[in-house]
Structure 1
C-alpha cells in the first residue's frame, strides 16, 4: 500500500447519493419489520427473508409482501397457494441472513434450526407469533413480485424485541 492510501468505511464502488434511485433511497429510510416467509413441505420447502411487508387489519386481515420473482419461494407460493409469515426477533439475525442469502446455510436453508410443519408452510420451532395465509393475488411491481394474502391462521406469542431493517442495517425494537 502506498503511503498516501487510507482505509475508510465507504464503499468505493457505490454510486454517489445524487446518482442513486430516489425511491430506493426513500425505502432505505423507512424502518421495516424483518419477516420470514415460507411455503411448501418436505423437500419442496422454500423460504425468504422479507422486509417489504404490510399487514392490514380487518376482517379478514391481509398481508402484502414484495418478493424476488426468481426466488424458490415465489415458485413455492405459486404452486401451493399458501404461505406462512413469521416476524423475526432480534435474536434471529443469523436466521434472517441465511434466508436472505447473506450467510452460509450448510446443508440447506432448513438444516440449521428446528421447524414446525403447518398447513401454510414451515415455521421456526418455538415461534410464538406467526400467521398462515392463502394467496389472493400476485402481480409484478417494479423489480419485485407482489404477493397478496388473506390471513387464515394467526398465533400471537410474547412481545419480544423485534428485528427491524433500516438503511442497510438491522435494528432492535424493544417492546414498550
Structure 2
C-alpha cells in the first residue's frame, strides 16, 4: 500500500499536467444541444460515453461555468450530435471560437427540432435525443445522464475527432 495513502495524505496532480496528458487522448467530437426557457443552447464536447444499451443511456460532462449550463438543468432534455469531419466549423462555433454566442451559434450548420423539441444537426453522423434521468456534480462539471429516446443515423462518413488541441478526420 502507498505510504501516503496509509497516512491519509492525498496526492494532487497539477492541472496543467493533467490537461496535457488528456490532450493525447483521441476523442470523438459532439455538439450537445437543448432548448431551455430562454431558447436554444449548446456546447462542444468530447466527454460523451455510453452507459448502457438496456435501456439506452449515455452521459455527457458539462462544465458548470459555461453560459448554457443552466439551460441544460432546466430543460431536462438534450441532443448529442455526433459530428462528421466536414462539420468542424460547427464544433468550433459551439466551442466558443469565432465569437458567436447563444442563438448565434445555430447559424452555423443546418438545424431542425427533434422529437424531444431539441435542436438536431442535419447530416450529423448520429443524433441521440435524451431525457435527463440524473445529474451529478463532480468538481467543475455536471455529469448529465440521459435516457436515449430517439436516434437518427446520418451518413456514414469520416468522423471528427480531437487530439493534441486540434481537430482531425478519422
The TM tier, using the shorter chain, reads: 0.7 to 0.9
* Of 69-78 and 81-90, the range deviating more from structure 2: 69-78
2:168 pairs, out of 163, 167, 171, with: 171
**Cα displacement (A) at 1:164:** 0.5
Q: Structure 2, unaligned stretches of length 5 or more?
A: 1-12
CA distance in 1, matches of 2:74, 2:167: 31
TM-score scaled by length of structure 2: 0.81
* SS across alignment from 2:151: strand
- Misfit runs of 4+, over 6 Å: none
| Number of equivalent positions | 156
**What pairs with 1:23-172 in structure 2 (closer than 5 Å)?**
23-40=18-35, 44-105=39-100, 108-118=104-114, 119-127=116-124, 129-172=126-169
Structure having the larger proportion of residues in strand:
2
**Cα displacement (A) at 1:154:** 0.8
* SS across alignment from 2:105: coil
Larger Rg: 1
Q: Structure 1, unaligned stretches of length 5 or more?
A: 1-17
TM-score scaled by length of structure 1: 0.78
